[in-house]
Each structure stands twice: as structure tokens, then as C-alpha cells.
Amino acid sequence: MNVKGGKWLMGIAALLTLICMALPVTAEEKKTVEQTPVSDKPAATEKTVEQTPAADKPVATEKSGESGQAAKDNIATVNGVAITRTEFDKEIDAIQQRLLMQGQKPDEAQTSEIKNNVLENLITRELLWQESQKSGVKIADSAVDEEISKWKKQFSDEEQFKTIIASMNISEEDLKAQMKQRMSVQEFLDKKLEQKISVSDKEVKEYYDSHPDDFKQPEQVKASHILVKVDPKADEAAKAGARKKLEDIENKVKKGEDFAAIAKSSSDCPSKDNGGDLGYFSRGQMVKPFEDAAFALKTGEVSKIVETQFGFHLIKAVDKKADKTLSYDEVKDELKDYLKQQKKVKEVGDYSQELKGKAKIENFLE
């Protein structure tokens, strides 16, 4: 379901950001350290931008004024458990890699904010992990393997999965360790907070009635495409060669050959596994030249060759939906789930702040 502004995803994203950053923690990296002397003056940690709303007043952590061996090897300690600089650097590197893949390069101020956000999330994650272990939560290795298998299905094949995690400097062992930690924390939080996150039908209806704009579904198109990829640094000869390749494909389509079959055999996009199917999308979700071409098509039509920063495309409009407002019956079940997630986000945030207030936290971030 599409809801204006992506609100349906925000609560879930905030919760996942809070309890589990993308990168794993290896068992070897977790160790108890001796507490090092800290300065008398506490320094407040910054609240993570994507983190769950919590108490208005930031929780202070002790920021060491000494270098010391702990500060040299670790970025923080949480109740005597080290968060290593290696772990911290992995998190930062992964985020930077994701931003680069999206064509973004953070400036100095943004990099500083990212570092503070990452450390805050690592501290929160460690606190929740410690509490889950105190509660006696146990996750079987078989359950972890099953969850990893589900996660792998998001990729076109095993090779793509391995390539992606390798590019983010993650091993499969790391991934399993982090998945086990995430599942432990999730089970612990579900049990602890289940009584606080019930949502009544009345609450669901009241939200629906008071947020009409959230349920306006914009015009959508379901499209398939065939991509001939072009390296951004390619010279004119390489671009001309790529275009010629797609022109040959275009001629096959014009002669009546099956678009999906050609996409499977010739497209450079992972969507080729589904015959080039990109599903439904609304305006603003694709790059502008692609979007303009797709929305200009009638159902069943194939575009002329379209150039984007990714290369050259042929686009086929499979179906179109006019804009409309979703009815209460259409959204009530998903809306109830969303409101539960919103409550959970708040409860987890409040609980995390409570834990931080009781914890012994040393922060060595410079």
C-alpha cells in the first residue's frame, strides 16, 4: 500500500535502525574491558536522527579525556563491554558505501553526524542485547539459518548476495552473529512490551478519519524494462555501441518477439529474472527521464529508447492505475499494524533511554 510521504515505512525503519544497524558484530569483537578513568564532566550524546523518539532530555555519557588503551582500541564501553573501533569503522564504511551507491557523498558536517548516529545506535543495540541475555532469551541456530535463508531471497542469486555483503565488508559469520543478536532483542522486546502496544479498532478508525491525505494513492504505472547498462565514465564510442545493442533489441520487439523473454536474456538489470518487471510505482520513485517516458505510455505500449545515468532503456507499460483515496476497509489491517509499530517505536525509545540512564557508558568518540 502506498501512503503519502512513505509514513507506512517510517515506523518500521526507525525501529529497525534502533535495534539493529545493518552490519553485524562478531563474537570475537565483544569483550569486557577494565574501566578507564574518565573526566569529571559528562558530555551528552547526540540523539540519532533516525532513532525512535525518546525522552526530551538526552542521556549523558561519560566522555574520556584520557587516551588510554581502552580509548585506543574501543569507541565506547557499555557496562564494561567494549564497542570496538573496528566495529564502529565497519558501520561507518557500510553507510558510506551505501551512500556512494546512491550517488551521495556526505560533507564534513554530515560525516560527523553519521558518526554520532552510528555510535548512539551501537550503544543502544548493546544495551538491548545485554538486557535480552539477562532475560534468558535463547535463539536456536536453526532459526537463525532459516531467517538468513529468507533474507537471501531478496537477492537474484547466491552470487549477488555474496557480492553485496563482501562490498560492505561483512562475512557470513558476521551476518549470522548479528542476525542472532537481532532476533534475541526482538523476542525480548516483544515479550516485554506486548501489553503496551495493543491498538483498538476505534484508534484505527480515528487515525483514518483524521489523516485523509495519508490514504491518497497517486497515479501509478506497472512497467517492465530492458536495460543496456553504460558505465558513467564510458566514452562516446562505448555509448554508441550500447545504444546500437538496444536498437537491435528494439527491432526484435517491434517484430513481435516477447518482451519478457528478451528482458530475461538481454537486460543488464536484476529485474531480468522477472522478465524486466518493476512492479507498480508512482511519480518521484524513478529517475526523471524514465518516469516521464513510463507515465506517457498507454497500457501495452513500448517506449522509444530512453537514456538515463544507468544506460539505455526500453520501457513497456503493463498496467496503469488512476489516483484514488483508499477506503477504510482496504487499509484497516495494515493501518493497525502500522499503529502498533508506531507505539512499539516509542516504547522501545523510552525503554532505551531508561537503560542509558542506569548504564555505565564511556564514549571515546573524538
Please report the DSSP string for 69-132 in residue order. Answer: HHHHHEEEEETTEEEEHHHHHHHHHHHHHHHHHTT----HHHHHHHHHHHHHHHHHHHHHHHHH
- Which fold would CATH assign to domain 219-322? Chitinase A; domain 3 (3.10.50)
Dist CA 54 CA 346 (whole Å): 7
pLDDT at 127: 96
Cell of 138: 535463547
User: What letter would DSSP give residue 229?
Assistant: E
Backbone angles phi and psi of 284, in degrees to 5: 95, -5
Helix axes 236-254, 259-266, angle to 10 degrees: 150
* Among 20, 48, 54, CA closest to 347: 54
Q: For residue 245, what are the contacts with CB-CB under 8 A and spacing of at least 6?
A: 228
Q: How far is CA 159 from CA 162, 246, 268, 274, 362, in A?
A: 5, 26, 15, 17, 40
Which amino acid is residue 285, in one-letter code? Answer: Q
* Among 76, 73, 83, CA closest to 38: 76
Please check whether residue 271 is in contact with residue 225, taking contact to mean a CB–CB distance below 8 angstroms.
yes
* Domain covering 4-198+341-363 in this structure, CATH number: 1.10.4030.10
Which amino acid is residue 270, in one-letter code? Answer: P
| Three-state SS at 23 | coil
Cell of 152: 537471501
Cell of 77: 564501553
* Residue 168 burial (C-beta neighbours within 10 Å; 0-12, 13-18, 19+): buried
pLDDT at 68: 61
Full pLDDT tens readout for the chain, 366 residues: 444 433 333 333 333 333 333 333 333 334 333 333 333 322 333 333 333 333 333 344 454 444 466 667 899 999 999 999 998 998 898 888 888 877 788 889 999 999 999 999 999 999 999 999 999 999 999 999 999 998 888 887 888 888 888 877 788 888 899 899 999 999 999 999 888 889 999 999 999 999 999 999 999 999 999 999 999 899 999 999 999 999 999 999 999 999 999 999 999 999 999 999 999 999 999 999 999 999 999 999 999 999 999 999 999 999 999 999 999 999 999 999 999 999 999 999 999 999 999 999 999 987
Dist CA 243 CA 246 (whole Å): 5
So where are the chain's domains? 4-198+341-363, 219-322
**pTM to 2 decimals?**
0.58
pLDDT at 13: 34
Please check whether residue 121 is in contact with residue 21, taking contact to mean a CB–CB distance below 8 angstroms.
yes
* Among 176, 131, 167, CA closest to 348: 131
Dist CA 81 CA 31 (whole Å): 6
